Structure 1
Amino acid sequence: MSFIYMIIMGLIVGVIARAIKPGADAMGWILTIVLGIIGALVGGFLAGMLGMNANGGFTGLIFSVIGAIIVLFVYELATGKRRIG
């Protein structure tokens, strides 16, 4: 059951991060789920470095979205996509 929960939360976090970050990110549902899962890992790492507990709840969601936005910026740098505007 935790695997299904991870996929659903990855999708939610990925969609929120893509909605917040400006620019067109052409990626499908699977990449959005992967983005959300990796973003949650990055967000958990950031929360740990700040000495905060981000295990679930609203704080965990916020740190996961922040981590996913960071991953989106790194993804753009790695793929060479340029922002217009």
Structure 2
Amino acid sequence: MELIWTIVIGFIVGVLAKFVTHGPGPQGFFLTAALGIAGSVIATFVGRALGWYAAGQSAGFIGAFVGALVLLFIYHMVIKSRGTST
């Protein structure tokens, strides 16, 4: 059940993070949602490793949002580096 909750929060957060960031973001609904879900999952595991969350506890909304923003930042950097190398 915890993984399902992490995915639901990540989905919502991915869509919100897309609206907050500007510039060319991931194109498509599924890629945006996937980045949000990945950000939520990463925030959960990093939070557990740092002792912020107990076992069986998922990242909160803010942690997932920060995780999604970090992944979107990385996405923008990768896209920018691809554009300059051609």
In the superposition, the TM-score normalised over structure 2's length comes to: 0.68
Unaligned runs of 5+ in 1: none
- Higher Rg: 2
- Between the two proteins, the alignment pairs up a number of residues equal to 80
**Structure 2 residue aligned with 1:48:** 48
**Structure 1 residue aligned with 2:65:** 65
Asked whether the 8 Å contact 2:9–2:64 carries over to 1, the reply is no
Give distance in 2, aligned partners of 1:6 and 1:44: 8
Alignment of 1:1-85 (within 5 A): 8-53=8-53, 55-56=57-58, 60-80=60-80
Root-mean-square deviation over aligned CA pairs: 2.9
Asked whether the 8 Å contact 1:10–1:32 carries over to 2, the reply is no
Q: Deviations over 1:11-49 (max 9, x none)?
A: 211011112233342521100110111111221133224
Q: Which structure's relative contact order is higher, taking Cα pairs within 8 Å and 6+ residues apart?
A: 2
In the superposition, the TM-score normalised over structure 1's length comes to: 0.69
Q: Which amino acid aligns with 1:22?
A: H
